[in-house]
Structure 1
Amino acid sequence: MTTEAAALTAGRVMAEARMRESGRLTRPGPDVYDPATGETTTSSTLLYTGKARVKPAQTVPEGVQAGQREVSLTRYDIALPFAAVPASRIQPGDTFTVDTSPDARMPGLVLHVTGVNYSATATAWRISAEARS
Structure 2
Amino acid sequence: MSLDAVLAAGRAAAEDRMTDAVRLYEQAEDTFDRTTGTTVPGVQTTLYAGRARVKPVAQASGEDVQASDREVRLLEYTVELPWSTPLPPGTRLLPGMRIEVTASPDARMVGLILWVTGSQFGGQSTAWRISTEDRS
TM-score (structure 1 length as normaliser)? 0.89
Counterpart of 1:114 in structure 2 is 117
Does 1:44 find its partner at 2:77? Answer: no
Identity among equivalent positions (%) equals 45
CA RMSD of aligned residues (A): 1.9
The farther-off stretch of 69-78 and 53-62 is 53-62
User: 1:23 offset after TM fit, Å?
Assistant: 1.1
Residues 18-56 of structure 1, C-alpha deviation per residue, up to 9 Å, x if partnerless?
Answer: 001001000111335567765412212111000000000
The Cα shift of 1:63 comes to 1.7
Matches within 5 A, 1:73-84: 73-84=74-85
Task: Find out whether 1:21 has 2:20 as its counterpart.
Answer: yes
In 1, Cα distance between equivalents of 2:49 and 2:125: 20
CA distance in 2, matches of 1:73, 1:33: 28
User: What do residues 58-89 of structure 1 show as CA deviations (whole Å, max 9, x unaligned)?
Assistant: 45222223355322000000000011102222
Decide whether the 8 Å contact of 1:32 with 1:43 is kept in 2: no
Q: Which runs of 5+ in 2 are unaligned?
A: none
Structure with greater proportional strand content: 1
Distance 2:105 2:92 in 1: 28
Q: Matched residue of 1:8: which SS?
A: helix
Alignment correspondent of 2:6: 7
Aligned to 1:70: 71
Aligned-pair CA distance for 1:3: 1.3
Gaps of 5+ in 1: none
How far apart, CA to CA, are the structure 1 residues paired with 2:13 and 2:36? 49
